[in-house]
Amino acid sequence: MLGIYGQGMSAGQTKVSTTTPVLVMLSTPSAARVTIENLSSGTIARVGFAARGDAGNIGITVYGTGNTGTLVGLPVSNLAELAIGSAAAFLIRTAALSTPMVVATNTVERFRADSGGVSVASNLTVGSSLYVRSSALFSGNLVVTDSAVFSSTTIFTSLAIFSGGTSMTSLTIASSFAVASPSSVSTASSVNVANIVPTSAARFMVVTVSGTKYGLALYEISA
């Protein structure tokens, strides 16, 4: 049964009620889409789609350019939002192991999750503490403005910059490594450094290996 009626609804609203699944089928040689529009630019204007269960719900909302509200400190004017409520978890997945999940801005890939793990296609910037509980391989720049804790082997193949305290189990650096003040790196086992590049504030670096401190004096030399 499929019924469309307006009983109990506010003015201008339409309700679709059915006890069986609704299937919308389109067959066209050109692009096909289902569109919901609200072209108002009023101060509370928005349009969206919501799916509700007996407890949880998920919604996709687009806010009008004249909407004056805010969400998590952001103005919602011309904002697109995906949100859940009262659900046990928010799951995003691909059904096939070989199908990657890709996040891009404009036409540039920024983030990828696939069967091999998670990769960041561009620079990774961490504004607070960074915790890595397994092996970490960084082939792009890593900038940490607070403390960093690595509990497994860490490999840097490009520039790494730390301005807070850093603790690592094992460290391998294939390229450059910059340490700002305080100029110290603490590791529990091995340190293998191919090239250390000090910042202007760090001409001397202390490396702690298995409780023993080693001082590394850094001098500028001509080619």
DSSP for 121-147, please give it: SS-EEESS-EEE-S-EEE-S-EEESS-
Q: For residue range 54-79, what is the model confidence (pLDDT) as tens digits?
A: 999 999 999 999 999 999 999 999 99
Top-confidence residue, 191 or 44: 44
Task: Lowest mean pLDDT of 8-12, 15-19, 155-159, name the range.
Answer: 8-12
Is the model's pLDDT at 173 over the cut of 50?
yes
By percentage, how much of the chain surpasses pLDDT 90?
27
Give the Cα separation of 99 and 103 in Å (integer): 13
| Pairs from 53-61 (Cβ < 8 Å, separation ≥ 24) | 53/87, 55/86, 55/87, 56/84, 56/85, 56/86, 56/87, 56/88, 57/84, 57/85, 57/86, 57/87, 58/82, 58/83, 58/84, 58/85, 58/87, 59/83, 59/84, 59/85
Is the model's pLDDT at 3 over the cut of 60?
no
By percentage, how much of the chain surpasses pLDDT 70?
56
Residue 127: pLDDT band by 50, 70, 90 thresholds?
A: confident
Half-sphere exposure of 8 (CA within 13 A, CB side): 4
Confidence at residue 72, expressed as pLDDT on a 0 to 100 scale: 94
Q: Is the pTM of this model over 0.75?
A: no
CA dihedral 104, 105, 107, 111 (to 10 degrees): -30
Is the model's pLDDT at 31 over the cut of 50?
yes
